[in-house]
Structure 1
Amino acid sequence: MKFTLSWLKKHLDTNASIDEIADAMVRIGLEVEEIENPADRLSAITVGYVKHAEKHPDADKLKVCKVDTKDGELQIVCGAPNAREGIHVAFAPVGTYIAGLDVTLSKAKIRGVESLGMMCSARELELGDDHDGIMELPEAAVGTPLADVLGLDDPVIDFEVTPNRPDTNGVDGVARDLAATGLGTLISPVPETVGGSFAQPIPVEIDDKEACPAFGSRLIRGVKNVPSPDWLQEQLRAIGLRPINALADITNYVSYDRARPLHVYDAAKLTGTVRARMGKKGESFLALDGKTYEVDETMCVIADDKAVLGLGGVMGGEDSGCTDETTDVLVESALFDPLITARTGRKTGIVSDARYRFERGVDPQSVQLGLDLATQLILDICGGEPSEIALAGEIPDTAREIEFPTSEVARLTGLDVSDSEKERILCALGFEVSRGGTWTVTPPSFRPDIEGKADLVEEIARIHGLDNLPTDELPPLSAADRHAPAILPQRERKARETMSGAGYHEAVTWAFCDAPFAEMFGGKDAPKLSNPISSDLGQMRPGALPNLLLAMGRNAARGARHVRLFELGGGYQGDRPEDQRSVVSAIAWGAAPSGWQGEKSAPDVFTAKSLAISVLQAAGVNTDNLMTLTDAPDHYHPGRKARLGLGPKVTLAHFGEVHPSVLEALDVPGPVAAMEVFLDQIPAPKGKTASGRPPLNASQLMPVRRDFAFVLPEETPAEKLLKAVRGAEKQLLTDVRLFDVYRGKGIGEGEKSLALEVTLQPREKTLTEEEIDAISARIVAQAEKTGAKLRG
């Protein structure tokens, strides 16, 4: 929202400087973004006087002029047809930047004659469209700044209108707030009621009162759509609007002056009844911006019996617009629903001043005010004869009373404001106040944001001055209780450390995913979003794997040869709190770069299993007790997947290679190893280990390591053998590691050889050879229970 200082002073009687006004606006919540003074960019342009002008010796259309300037008499070569002796001109010396030409002047020779500066046209200085010749100024002293001669020393304030303050979309609303601070006196003139000499003859009806509650109209006959007077053109140009003609300029002026959008139709171009209704499929219209827009059933349109005239509250149409030949006009001052207006604007992409105001809310009581103000301006500038005002629908009654205990100001803010000052502030802002034990306050119709007593406290506080809020010391802090940290955050921290240490990069992706992907990863019942931010983010994710795979695909498409990603975040199986899980998800794709050790293989199911076990160990799980079950979810590759659990019912992790059909659906390369660890499914530790840190189990004695090779049926999983061996000696046996798998010569058909390294850790004394042999015998016996036999 922009306005000039002179425009503000039409509503506010003040001697405050532009800086004082800007400071006051910021203090009361009107955030000033920029102050620009046109005089600043014209500071180098001054008045010059042409003493002599003669034809250029080598060019018929050029003249050589002697010009009196602030720097003395200078010679300037000029091609303007009106360059002649005895006129005052806008002189730009060498070194001046000319915005309209995008050049910086320098000394030049034009057809062999030296030229030291320039006499400028209005277009060259961006002061208008006139480029037929140089500017001819009124008589003024040589050297006078051009801005002073043209009255352009008028700063422009640009500030941000917050959505809850639609009244400040008009200069009068800003003036009212500033007057309440004591910066001046509000002098906004109330438009005089303009009577009509005949009934409004064009029928206007409303078919949808939700979209358009009220439609005020007035016909004005015999107008002359002349160019706007200079004062109006200058005001509009100053805030960045291009003057068009008197009728269009008047509606723009009222919109900015009183936050009241209007529209003017050429009455001769209307057919039958003008209606505010919802659009129909297949309708379209040519808008004032020169584009054709399709209309649908969700949009409010203004139409006559022939065609759509425009979109209500957004933009009018070209076919019913006013031209220089227009003589009879229908002036519209209506109310449109903010939500329907906003939806229409988003669908069409139209950005207009009317849409900006209507979707934030327009004062219902401004329907007649806007018509009266526009009528008076039209009569003053264009002439004509007005009809009476016709109103279709009815003005909504927004009157409401708020019970206001004045003690709320001190209770909520700590400010000490007298009752008389509270009343003064509220009345200055347009509120009606009835004093008593508890005040009754009636907000004005232009303040839809005031709903309760806290809003009234805010109004008093911002005008009285938030910089007057009392300061106080915070009470001393008590010593913090040293409770043990919660288990889950500890596990999450350790999981992050483990994943990072393994060379995986942490990703942060959306908590949503595409619905087909959610179902593919077991999230059929995951909550769906009623208002997704994107069509492909319409459902809560069952876990992070689909998003990580898509991220991996984007990296691969940009030339990455190996990707390692993990994410620690929520997985959602339903809409209940217990359906949310804390999951560590990870994916690995592509072989890591080879080094002096040789070529590295691509990640596989065992890569995923090793990573899952590492995370579980870091989270405090005794992984020796885990069961490996092959019934992992279907988004993993059959035969290359499993889950880790404490029995068949408690699942702590899924791992495996991602199913090729899933990779194809996501359009990402494979193979991809993946794992998911469910941290919130890990049982809480008991007793003294509740912090999750196991007791130190160190020994000063050297460990003993023995290797065993067992032959067992091919279908027997290695884990079965490992568990059996671990159970042979629970006190001294600290580790069992599989280090070799062999099939081939010396091994029977359908069999395999597994080589294990067993670590024995003595606690109290060194083990004797006999003790080691006894433990070895027990290990072999335990292994034989699985169908294995010691390899000879």
Structure 2
Amino acid sequence: MKLTLSWLKEHLDTSATLAEIVETLTRIGLEVEHVHDPAAQLKDFTIARIVEAAQHPNADRLRVCKVDTGAGDLVQVVCGAPNARAGLRTVFSAPGTYIPGKKITLGKGVIRGVESLGMMCSFEELDLSGESDGIIELPEDAPVGAVYAQWADLDDPVIEINLTPNRADAAGVHGVARDLAAAGLGVLKDKEILPVEGKFPRPVGVTLDFAENDRHLAPFFALRFVRGVKNGPSPEWLQKRLREIGLRPINALVDITNYLTFDRARPLHVFDAKKVKGNLVVRRAKNGETLLALDGKTHELDETMVVIADDNGVESIAGVMGGEVSGCNDDTTDVLIESALWDPQNIAHTGRKLGIVTDARYRFERGVDPAFALPGAELATQLVLDLCGGEASTLVIAGAEPRARRTVDYPWSETQRLAGVDVSQADATAILERLGFTVEKTGEDSAKITAPSWRPDIEGKADIVEEIVRILGVDNIPSTPLPRTEGIAAPVLTLMQKRARNARRALATQGLVEAVTWSFISKEQAEAFGGGAPGLALANPIASDLSDMRPSLLPGLVAAANRNAARGLGDQELFEVGQIFVDPSEKGQRLAAAGIRRGLSGAGRHWSAPAQRAGAFDARADVMALLGALGVATGGLQVVPGGPAWFHPGRSATLQFGPKAIVGYFGELHPRALKALDVEGPIAAFEIILDMLPAPKARPTKVKPKLELSDLQPLSRDFAFLVDRAALAGDLVKAVAGADKALITDVSVFDVYEGVGVPEGKKSVGVAVTLQPREKTLTDTEIEAVAQKIVAEAEKKTGAILR
């Protein structure tokens, strides 16, 4: 939201300085993002007169000028502008002046052998809008030596406010002035808007064509016909207002609507009445209808959008943008002025779907003042009559202006309870009434407070507290230290908070980099990862590819890795801890930890061994490290081959503590899932549902065994077993490990072979067994005895036969 200081003072009677206004705006919640003061930027530019302009001796397109700057002696300036001539009054800058349009500081120069002691400037070099074939040309009465910015009335500062979405009332200069007046910085000039007398009956009617349950889409519509107008350039004061806030003046009729949009936060639209056929109908659009809009683009509409139509078809997209065909130009003589109310959510949905961003949409989707719709039509009509002439018809009104205002039962003690500041009832009442609230006393410590029509964001007691405190000043809230407690504070983190924190640390320790991705993904991606249910689709998505709540963290991580790869980062190792959404219920929201590895595992360069692509076992190592860091006992953890549809069936596994206690998955992502994400693989991934992990016991029955480091050298023996092709290597490892739990400290698979020398339907599994002597070095006989126990246990438990 932009406004100028002079514009603000049209609504606020104040003697406050610019600095005081800026400080107060930020203090009361209207944060000032930027102040542009052209007077400060142009303070060194003065008005000068060219006394003599002679041809440069060494250049055909340059002139050597003698310039009167009003400081005494003439100054020599070399100028290349085609309009530099004797007698011309223009803008001069001396050496040492900063040129904002070129972002340089001017110095003394020698141009083609001739000294130049300054520069005569164009609008572009002063960073001003204006058309010129060369340097600025000023009238004959421009005073030589005067500061150009002051003479040209360019000393009006522009204030830019960063509005929060709830403050639609401050999207107009009048609303900003109201807040400043409430803060004690002046008196609000709240002039009464008088109705315009209709000189003749309305020739055009309007109908709101909606079903009963759709009437909220357009509850009120006011229309007025004005004939005999003379359109053309708007007066200089209006053009100046618009240019100063960055808008381009078009013509008087369009400029009036733009002016009221920023002056009163009241968007309107003006139709060329001669281009409208029949009466207006406000309705839902029909699928397939199109409109050539004022942005020059043809937009395809659907039934979720509201339009204003006539016998020719759609003439305007309600609350967003008008049509080009019925727009006003210099030939317009009869106009229809429209002032309406629209449903904020529908306007936001329409604008986002069509990709149209306008000042009208910005205000309607936040909620305009419903009580100002009718006065806005009257004010617009009066401005059209004042600036363009003509005579107005009677006003056409369809629907009804919503009258309901939210009332809050407010105990005055709530201010002290929520904000910690003691405000008297009289002071709080005065603040609220200056803001437009109605306060009705109902008891010694209570009142009924009714919000004004322009504050749809006021919903409860906390909002009332906020209004009182922001005007009173946050600086006036006393600083109260937290009480010092004795002893050690009791734990305050929940189990899930602890798990989330520990999971982040554990995964970072594994070499993964944390990412934070959107909680929304496209419907196609959601369906590829087990989601896409209608209950998880967003009613008003911020973008078409962010339409559904994510059922998994993996799509966001893969997309992030792909974006990084597109920027030259080849190896991708990312993790995220966040919420996923299984169904719309409260229990359907779960906390998950996921990670991916894409590219080469381990170090990028390794001279002793060839680099290997990240695979399922890399993901498994990450999972086991995570579970260990979370203190989850893995003794009962089952690793079942295969996972959900988005994992490769032969290169993935499911982690569970029983058939109904699935806690996560790991493996390589399926090519179909990668195709849905438009990413090349392979990608190793895992995802653990932290909510599903068993909670630690209050008094664990098992504790970690004490660390025992033997002085004796461990030894390793390899075994190759023949097992059925369908047998699980994990079962074999478990059987071998149980042969002698005192001596066997590690069992790992180092080889799986099928082929020549192995019977049909069988496979050879090689395992390495590590034995750790405890009290003495093992003899060959003792080692052989352990080996026999391993072979016997493997055959007993899995049917394995030693090769």
Q: Structure 1 residues 171-180 or 74-83, which shifts more?
A: 74-83
Corresponding residue of 1:198:
200
Corresponding residue of 1:698:
708
Q: Does 1:262 align with 2:268?
A: yes
Corresponding residue of 1:5:
5
Corresponding residue of 1:241:
247
Whole-Å Cα distance in 1 between the matches of residues 342 and 663 of structure 2? Answer: 57
Q: Structure 1 residues 58-67 or 718-727, which shifts more?
A: 58-67
Corresponding residue of 2:468:
460
Paired residue type of 1:239: I
Query: Displacement, 1:258?
Result: 2.0
Picking from 162, 165, 182, the partner of 1:163 is 165
Corresponding residue of 2:47:
47
Corresponding residue of 1:25:
25
Paired residue type of 1:163: P
Corresponding residue of 2:434:
428
For 1:87-126, what per-residue CA distance to the aligned partner results, in whole angstroms no more than 9, with x for missing partners?
8654444565666788877778999997755666767753
For 1:545-588, what per-residue CA distance to the aligned partner results, in whole angstroms no more than 9, with x for missing partners?
66666666677777777666666667766667489575665657
Segments of structure 1 that go 5 or more residues without pairing to the other structure are none
Paired residue type of 1:445: S
The answer (yes or no) to whether the contact 2:347–2:364 under 8 Å persists in 1 is yes
Query: Displacement, 1:127?
Result: 5.8
- Where do 1:39-188 residues align within 5 Å? 39-49=39-49, 52=51, 67-70=68-71, 72-74=73-75, 85=87, 89-94=90-95, 96=97, 117=118, 125=126, 126=128, 128-129=130-131, 135-137=137-139, 139=141, 142-188=144-190
Corresponding residue of 1:476:
484
Larger Rg: 1
Whole-Å Cα distance in 1 between the matches of residues 62 and 784 of structure 2? Answer: 118
The answer (yes or no) to whether the contact 1:740–1:755 under 8 Å persists in 2 is yes
For 1:645-669, what per-residue CA distance to the aligned partner results, in whole angstroms no more than 9, with x for missing partners?
7788877776666666666776666
Paired residue type of 1:446: W
Whole-Å Cα distance in 1 between the matches of residues 237 and 395 of structure 2? Answer: 28
Whole-Å Cα distance in 2 between the matches of residues 7 and 234 of structure 1? Answer: 11
Query: Displacement, 1:759?
Result: 1.9
Q: SS at 1:445's partner residue?
A: coil
Corresponding residue of 2:771:
759
Q: SS at 1:454's partner residue?
A: helix
Whole-Å Cα distance in 2 between the matches of residues 403 and 228 of structure 1? Answer: 49
Summarize the Cα distance change of 1:653–1:159 in structure 2 as closer, same or farther, 3 Å threshold: closer
Whole-Å Cα distance in 2 between the matches of residues 556 and 119 of structure 1? Answer: 51
User: TM-score with structure 2 length normalisation?
Assistant: 0.80
- Where do 1:319-330 residues align within 5 Å? 319-330=325-336
Query: Displacement, 1:19?
Result: 0.6
Query: Displacement, 1:472?
Result: 2.3
Query: Displacement, 1:237?
Result: 2.3
Whole-Å Cα distance in 2 between the matches of residues 281 and 773 of structure 1? Answer: 82
Summarize the Cα distance change of 1:682–1:307 in structure 2 as closer, same or farther, 3 Å threshold: closer
Whole-Å Cα distance in 2 between the matches of residues 335 and 664 of structure 1? Answer: 45
Corresponding residue of 2:219:
213
Whole-Å Cα distance in 2 between the matches of residues 622 and 436 of structure 1? Answer: 61
Q: Does 1:277 align with 2:283?
A: yes
Summarize the Cα distance change of 1:472–1:322 in structure 2 as closer, same or farther, 3 Å threshold: same
Whole-Å Cα distance in 1 between the matches of residues 412 and 605 of structure 2? Answer: 77
Whole-Å Cα distance in 2 between the matches of residues 101 and 551 of structure 1? Answer: 39
Query: Displacement, 1:614?
Result: 6.4
Corresponding residue of 2:363:
357
Whole-Å Cα distance in 2 between the matches of residues 397 and 262 of structure 1? Answer: 21
Summarize the Cα distance change of 1:295–1:142 in structure 2 as closer, same or farther, 3 Å threshold: same
Corresponding residue of 1:189:
191
Q: Does 1:223 align with 2:234?
A: no
The answer (yes or no) to whether the contact 1:491–1:618 under 8 Å persists in 2 is no
Give the share of equivalent positions with the same residue, in percent: 47
Q: Does 1:382 align with 2:392?
A: no
The answer (yes or no) to whether the contact 1:568–1:583 under 8 Å persists in 2 is yes
Query: Displacement, 1:17?
Result: 0.7
For 1:6-55, what per-residue CA distance to the aligned partner results, in whole angstroms no more than 9, with x for missing partners?
222222221111111111111111111122222223212223356x5688
Query: Displacement, 1:466?
Result: 2.1
CA RMSD of aligned residues (A): 4.9
Paired residue type of 2:21: I
Q: SS at 1:365's partner residue?
A: helix
The answer (yes or no) to whether the contact 1:739–1:757 under 8 Å persists in 2 is no
Query: Displacement, 1:146?
Result: 2.0
Query: Displacement, 1:181?
Result: 2.0
Whole-Å Cα distance in 1 between the matches of residues 120 and 653 of structure 2? Answer: 85
Whole-Å Cα distance in 2 between the matches of residues 707 and 133 of structure 1? Answer: 92
Whole-Å Cα distance in 1 between the matches of residues 458 and 658 of structure 2? Answer: 61
Q: Does 1:444 align with 2:452?
A: yes
Q: Structure 1 residues 460-469 or 779-788, which shifts more?
A: 779-788
Q: SS at 1:441's partner residue?
A: strand
Equivalenced residues, count: 787
Corresponding residue of 2:35:
35
Q: SS at 1:391's partner residue?
A: strand
The answer (yes or no) to whether the contact 2:575–2:593 under 8 Å persists in 1 is no
Summarize the Cα distance change of 1:176–1:607 in structure 2 as closer, same or farther, 3 Å threshold: closer
Corresponding residue of 1:345:
351
Q: Structure 1 residues 182-191 or 565-574, which shifts more?
A: 565-574
Summarize the Cα distance change of 1:117–1:680 in structure 2 as closer, same or farther, 3 Å threshold: closer
The answer (yes or no) to whether the contact 1:526–1:540 under 8 Å persists in 2 is no
Segments of structure 2 that go 5 or more residues without pairing to the other structure are none
Summarize the Cα distance change of 1:430–1:286 in structure 2 as closer, same or farther, 3 Å threshold: same
The answer (yes or no) to whether the contact 1:569–1:583 under 8 Å persists in 2 is yes
Q: SS at 1:411's partner residue?
A: helix
The answer (yes or no) to whether the contact 1:543–1:583 under 8 Å persists in 2 is no
The answer (yes or no) to whether the contact 2:576–2:594 under 8 Å persists in 1 is yes
Q: Structure 1 residues 676-685 or 165-174, which shifts more?
A: 676-685
User: TM-score with structure 1 length normalisation?
Assistant: 0.81
Whole-Å Cα distance in 2 between the matches of residues 54 and 772 of structure 1? Answer: 110
Paired residue type of 1:597: S
Whole-Å Cα distance in 1 between the matches of residues 305 and 754 of structure 2? Answer: 75
Paired residue type of 1:379: L
For 1:619-674, what per-residue CA distance to the aligned partner results, in whole angstroms no more than 9, with x for missing partners?
66787887776566666666666667778887777666666666677666666666
The answer (yes or no) to whether the contact 1:80–1:134 under 8 Å persists in 2 is no
Whole-Å Cα distance in 2 between the matches of residues 433 and 745 of structure 1? Answer: 93
Q: Structure 1 residues 301-310 or 74-83, which shifts more?
A: 74-83
Q: SS at 2:216's partner residue?
A: coil
Q: SS at 1:72's partner residue?
A: coil
Summarize the Cα distance change of 1:567–1:193 in structure 2 as closer, same or farther, 3 Å threshold: closer
Summarize the Cα distance change of 1:443–1:697 in structure 2 as closer, same or farther, 3 Å threshold: closer
Whole-Å Cα distance in 2 between the matches of residues 462 and 309 of structure 1? Answer: 43
Corresponding residue of 1:414:
420
Picking from 314, 334, 339, the partner of 1:333 is 339
